[in-house]
Amino acid sequence: TLSWTAALPPSALDEHGVAKAVVNGLSVALYVVDGEYFATADLCTHGQASLSDGYLDGELIECPLHQGTFNVKTGAAVDAPCSVAVRTFPVKLEDGVLHVGME
Ligand code: FES
């Protein structure tokens, strides 16, 4: 079953719409795209880089290390060298705080 954990308020997202939070011991990157919130694992599937340090362009997050991209809505690897999807998590806004759902 899905359990929801408070992560951070939307105001914690930076000017590019990205923030990092630790949820249940896992580093997660949170994003806002057109007023909707999304979350992926923070660790790039290509190497030791933090996607929350990357650049969000629409629904694509660009990894800061080799500039590969993922779709933050689906986790799909879009641009090389990323080829393995990144894990995604559901996000909901409740009581002014973004919550991340995990199994
Ligand atoms: Fe992210 Fe290489 S570590 S693209």
Q: Which whole-number Å values give the CA distances from 37 to 9, 81, 94, in the listed order?
A: 11, 25, 12
pLDDT at 8: 97
Distance from C-alpha of 65 to C-alpha of 97, rounded to nearest angstrom: 30
Residues enclosing ligand 1, CB less than 6 A? 44, 46-47, 49, 63, 65-66, 68, 81-82
Q: How much is the pTM?
A: 0.96
CATH topology of domain 3-102: Rieske Iron-sulfur Protein (2.102.10)
pLDDT at 101: 97
Q: Which residues of 43-82 are buried (b: 16+ CB within 10 A; e: fewer)?
A: bbbbeebebbebebeebbbbbebeebbbbbeebebeeeeb
Question: Which pLDDT tens digit goes with each residue over 8-53?
Answer: 999 999 999 999 999 999 999 999 999 999 999 999 999 999 999 9
* Average pLDDT of the chain to the nearest whole number: 97
